[in-house]
Chain A
Amino acid sequence: MKRNSYGFNAVIMVMGLLFCISIAKADDARDIMDKVDQLQRKTADSTLSKARLSSCKFGKANRKVACVEKARVKLMESVSKQLGSEKKDSHSISILLEPASERGIGMLTYSYDDTSKDTESWLYLSALGRVKRMASGTGEDQEPVSLFGSEFTTEDMESGKMDEYDFKILKEGAFGEHQVWVIEARPKAVRLKKTNYSKVLFWIDKKRYISLKVQNYDKREKLLKKIMFKNIEQINGLWIARDTTLINVQTQRLSRMKNLEIAIGVDVDDEFLTQRTLTDFAYRERELEKLRQHIQ
């Protein structure tokens, strides 16, 4: 009897220890992801970038992914700024430069960390010469949508909302030339209704606190997307990937976002991130020209 009780206690102790370890690990995972998120937010603060977004259906040649059709290319110039006391809110504007038929389309977005607050956005169609405010509801009513018709969705580009996930370190070790943590993020019930994913895996560079790779899994826990970050450069002391490729393994389509030009920490006037920039071409060009001086 005594022996049994001793054995039972031992099991409890081991289990308790394991529990503590897992708690500690979970905390670590959250801390890591918080830091990654914080740094990511900095890269979007007062930033000007010109990016090319190419999408195509892919096939494989010698186990390497390659387009099997002519890629659809969109070229855009964006300016963004983080606001609020913790810099968790953001204002951004994107103007399409290519293709010719869509040249001049502009999108102005104000998004807030507070989930009860509507994301505000305005769309300018150059062919129509008119700005439209877009109202699409809040919280659950908002669904992840495609970014300029590519494989990237608004959800893939989102930062923050860390409280809506449970994080766990799955593995540590060398990933290529870098030491990484592989961290799993599982959406909590509050997130589950809004997300397309059952879990997301992050390969976080231990030194630079930046994602090297991300994998998204669909609601049946099957691999859906792989996002690879390449050409990581240090700009203004911040690490930034200039080449991001998303492979949708289920639809066999990929999108590649290549940062052609970037300037971080530039002085963006609040006035620039308003509707005027969408419609006033001369003003926009004048202001952009000033910002372009800082491109590295």
Chain B
Amino acid sequence: MQSLLSRFNRIFETAPQMLLPYRWVVLCIFTAVTGVMMVGMFKHFSMDMSLESWFQDDDPIKLSLDEYRDQFGSDDSVYVIYHPKDNDTFSEKSLTLIQELHKEIDNARMGLSESRALDLLNRIERIDSLYNARYQIADGDTLISKKLIGNDFPKTGVTREARRQLAKSQESFELIYHSKDFRYGGIRLKTDFGVVPVEAQTEGNTPLEIDLLMDDGELGFEGEDSLEISLEAEIEKTQYASMQMDEYLNFMTALRLITEQPKYEHFEFHYTGNAPVMEFAMNNMMEASILLGLMVLMVVGLLWSLFHSFSAVIWPITVIAASAFWTIGVGSWAGITFSTMVILTYMLILAVGIADCVHVLSAYILFRGEQHDHTSAMAMAYRKTGLPILLTTITTMAGMLALLLSDIPQIGVFGVTSAIGVLAAFLLTIFVLPVLLDIWHPFNENKINQSDKTNSFNQFLDRVLAKIPDFSGRHAKAIVMAYLGFFALLIYGASDVKVDSNFAELAKEGSAIQITFDIVDKHMMGGLNMEILLDFDAQDALKDPKVLRRIEKLQLHVEKNYPDFILKTFSLADIVKDTNKVMHQGLDEYKRIPKDPRLTAQLLYLFDSANSADRRNLVSDDYSRSHISLHLKNKGTYEYTDFFSDIQNDVRQIILPLDGTYPSMKAEATGSLTLMMELIDHIAWTQLKSFSFALLIITLIMMLTLGSIQAGLISMIPNLLPAFFTFGLMGLLDIPLDTDTLIIAPLIIGIAVDDTIHFLAHYRDSWYETGDVDLALKNTINEVGRAVTFTTLILGLGFSVLAFSDYLGLAKPGIFGSAAIFIALSSDLFFLPALIKWLKPDLGRSRYISNKRLKTTS
């Protein structure tokens, strides 16, 4: 192994000299490959930003979501809450304006609006507001079912008050169309998001239009008297087009064009649903790209201030940019569909690329400063840094490829593309950077000497670094004990960390999205929903009073027992109860499920004869399947864990006893909350699995390259410390660990491992050479101290830019990632030297020496 490593050192040492005669060939190849990759990127790049892309095609969750959509239509509505300035949704002004707004959106959805920018609102299938909410009341022997406002606008205060009382009498209106105190109102926009068949999106008009006179003769039962079931008939499985994030963004932009007109300034609008959340995320992605730009600027600034050379700025940026083009290019040519996680891939490439280049540049400048000429300084720099760079490349690639263990397609793609990115950065650092440095190198004797003299930071850094070996030598045990104590505290903290994702907490306090969630929870129907799917596998089961009474019992039970979570429940039982009441002159005592199955069936006849799309939202045609909707307050998934299992238990106890009559019945929970909980649980386990595997691989590589099990284990503490620091601190400060932070964890480990490898690889070389721990440590810190500090400063400060994001999913990784990077530096500079000083690991030196002796004697 050792001889293999020495051979690598020699290869890296001679590589620049071998390449230089062919510099133009190298440059041509580099330019050509980059060009090809850029073409691939611009021609074939595709991105899927839908929620469904997080699930595999055959994932039961995705299948059940599709089944739900097949049966009950889109579950993806936009809910607009409005707050009138006069605090009364029934004031003349509020009702007039809501009528106008309703009609304006309605016209836009039908394409009747003059502005083509509003055409995107044709995704709205139905608008429900106080304007068209249909009430049902009994007036003697007349059953009145009319729109609350409709054509009959209440012009006087008395008539408006009468309408308010009418609205009050309709239980289904409260929290949906108005708040309890009438200060807030709601407009529900039912959309076709997620239920547009794929072919409808791709094809224009149907082929039938092309040949109108062709008789398709598709009726298979002509002449037969009744419709028989055909066992051979196959249902054409409808493939629904996934919703892309920009579709949500464009939809919201069009909607805001209407609501943000000055004439509606009487209202303060808030939006909930997937579309506004995605709009928020998209806007944040744009903000993130600005922040990433700032991060690059900061990196440029730091590179300049640390090296005082334009070539030391331009070449690393060239390597990083080209690595990114190569990565996305390879992926695009290979037909990979990217996700929003591509931003993390960019960040990783930036981190790894910077680390690779800064180590080479630092070493080069160090050796030039030691009076070596350009060629030998290059050879020595690559001899010293080539192997550690290879090792960091292998470990980071292994860490990223471990993500392939995930069964979440997006995470797998992220793993593979990031591994490609790391490899690209390595290849370019080893094969292209020497050529670039040969053309234009950063060392100018006079300038460097002068700048080093004037650069007080570099002088300060050198002074501090010079003191470290001595300091950690003298206080080795104390430092080690302090770090181990800190490590133990972090492990304790990490054991207490809760994995929790909360939509509202994606944004900073006081942001529009948080205010909206707050209002919708306090005044309206809540920001989350849960559906209990009921499948009795028997025609007309849902007309059976026994079944309806069980459903009612479950609703009453959950409303009573979980008032902190549930705001409102709704089911077919409510329809039957309300209809029974209005058919009995509106008497409250009849607001119940009748015992007579014939009457129940006849009450449902009315519902059957209404809008069939509305009916199908609630119950299947044959009344075998339905769902109970629970409108929930927005809380994190952590808080919902117990609630979730309690509800499942209640369903088992209250609904499932019906299996005596309906043996093959099923009842299960689904809906946005369930989806989110499943996804988060999935991501947490996936990441844990990938982490463990990555750590195992990294430890094995470290053991092999450092020549001893002991050394491999030693290296793991500084490797683990930064990741545990993030999780531990979150646990200690009671900050929930969300999916975004979980996903960024491999990045933190990758960066931490990099510094440790550079440190230990240099130390091993020096230790083999000198056999003196103190001297080896001194040499190591002298050689790599500046480089690891520089990379830490660049990446740590670069990451900290993200902390300014409004989106906490980006800000949190920014803050914790940046802190972890600095922790990694401190453990490499203080803990590792102290531990080495204390344990004095041999790292296979004795075997190396005896082998060397044997060779010399022979």
Chain A residues with CB under 8 Å of chain B are 52, 54-73, 99, 101-102, 105, 123, 125-128, 130-141, 143-149, 151, 153, 170-171, 173-176, 180, 182, 189, 192-193, 201, 203, 215, 219-223, 228, 230, 243, 245, 247, 250-253, 256, 258
Contacts and interface: CB of A to CB of B under 8 A. Distances in A.
A247 to B, nearest CB: 8
Given A127-B602, A222-B206, A245-B219, A135 B144 contact: yes
Shortest 10 CB-CB distances between A and B: which pairs?
A: A64-B220, A66-B230, A59-B233, A149-B608, A101-B601, A61-B232, A146-B612, A127-B599, A66-B233, A59-B235
Given A66-B221, A105-B602, A54 B234 contact: no
Chain A at the B interface: mostly helix, strand, loop or mixed? Answer: strand
Contact of B233 (A67, A170, A201): A67
Nearest to B215: A176
Interface in B373-393: none
Given A64-B219, A146-B612, 19 more contacts: A59-B230, A60-B236, A62-B220, A66-B232, A67-B233, A71-B227, A133-B141, A135-B144, A136-B146, A144-B611, A146-B610, A147-B609, A148-B609, A149-B621, A193-B110, A219-B122, A245-B219, A251-B616, A252-B235
B611 A146 contact: yes
Interface in B604-649: 605-606, 608-612, 615-616, 621-622
A137 B150 contact: yes
A106 B539 CA distance: 23
Contacts of B117: none
A54 B608 contact: no
B266 interface: no
A59 B220 contact: no
A57 B110 contact: no
A61 B605 contact: no
B126 to A, nearest CB: 10
Given A61-B220, A128-B599, A251-B616, A136 B145 contact: yes
B824 interface: no
A173 B111 CA distance: 33
A144 B218 CA distance: 27
B616 A132 contact: no
A72 B621 contact: yes
Contact of A145 (B151, B222, B599, B611): B611
14 contacts: A61-B220, A61-B232, A61-B233, A65-B221, A66-B232, A125-B583, A125-B602, A127-B599, A130-B141, A132-B141, A133-B143, A203-B212, A222-B200, A253-B621
A146 B609 contact: yes
A70 B622 CA distance: 9
A177 to B, nearest CB: 9
A143 B218 CA distance: 31
Contacts, number: 196
B142 interface: yes
B596 interface: yes
Contacts of A230: 219, 222
Interface in B530-563: 539-540, 543
A67 B229 contact: yes
A66 B218 CA distance: 9
Contacts of A131: 141
Contacts of A139: 151
Contacts of B233: 58-61, 65-68
A112 to B, nearest CB: 17
Nearest to B205: A221
A219 B225 CA distance: 34
A1 B147 CA distance: 64
Nearest to A251: B616
A151 B611 CA distance: 10
A137 B227 contact: no
Contact of A70 (B206, B229, B232, B605): B229
Given A101-B598, A101-B602, A137 B151 contact: yes
Contacts of A134: 142-143, 145
Interface string B348-364: 00000000000000000
B507 to A, nearest CB: 34
Contact of B236 (A59, A182, A245): A59
A189 B112 contact: yes
Contacts of A247: 218
Contacts of B602: 101-102, 105, 125-128
Nearest to A260: B225
A68 B200 contact: no
Contacts of A228: 219
A151 B235 CA distance: 17
Contacts of A69: 229, 622
A68 B611 contact: no
A10 B597 CA distance: 76
Contacts of A137: 146-147, 150-152
B151 A149 contact: no
A131 B543 CA distance: 22
Given A125-B603, A146-B610, A223 B142 contact: no
A107 B144 CA distance: 16
- Which of B146, B205, B233 has most A Cβ within 10 Å? B233
A247 B200 CA distance: 17
B228 interface: yes
Interface string B125-165: 00000000000000001111111001110000000000000
B1 interface: no
A233 to B, nearest CB: 14
B199 to A, nearest CB: 10
Given A60-B218, A101-B597, A140-B151, A133 B142 contact: yes
B598 to A, nearest CB: 4
Nearest to B603: A125
Contacts of A222: 200, 206
Contacts of B609: 145-149
Nearest to B138: A132
B692 interface: no
B226 interface: yes
Given A56-B227, A145-B610, A192-B112, A170 B212 contact: yes
A57 B621 contact: yes
B238 interface: yes
B213 interface: yes
B145 A135 contact: yes
B208 interface: yes
Contact of B206 (A71, A223, A251): A223
Given A128-B583, A180-B213, A101 B543 contact: yes
A145 B695 CA distance: 63
A64 B221 CA distance: 8
Interface in B256-275: none
A201 B212 contact: yes
A101 B212 CA distance: 43
A64 B234 CA distance: 10
Contacts of A127: 596, 598-599, 601-602
A139 B132 CA distance: 13
A67 B230 contact: yes
A57 to B, nearest CB: 7
- Which of B122, B150, B213, B615 has most A Cβ within 10 Å? B213
Nearest to B594: A127
A163 B222 CA distance: 35
Contacts of A252: 235-236, 238
Nearest to A131: B141
A220 B583 CA distance: 38
Contacts of A61: 220, 230, 232-234
A102 B601 contact: yes
A192 B151 contact: no
Given A146-B611, A151-B612, A253-B621, A135 B146 contact: yes
Nearest to A189: B112
Interface in B160-183: none
Contacts of A256: 221, 227
B227 A175 contact: no
A245 B610 CA distance: 20
A250 B19 CA distance: 64
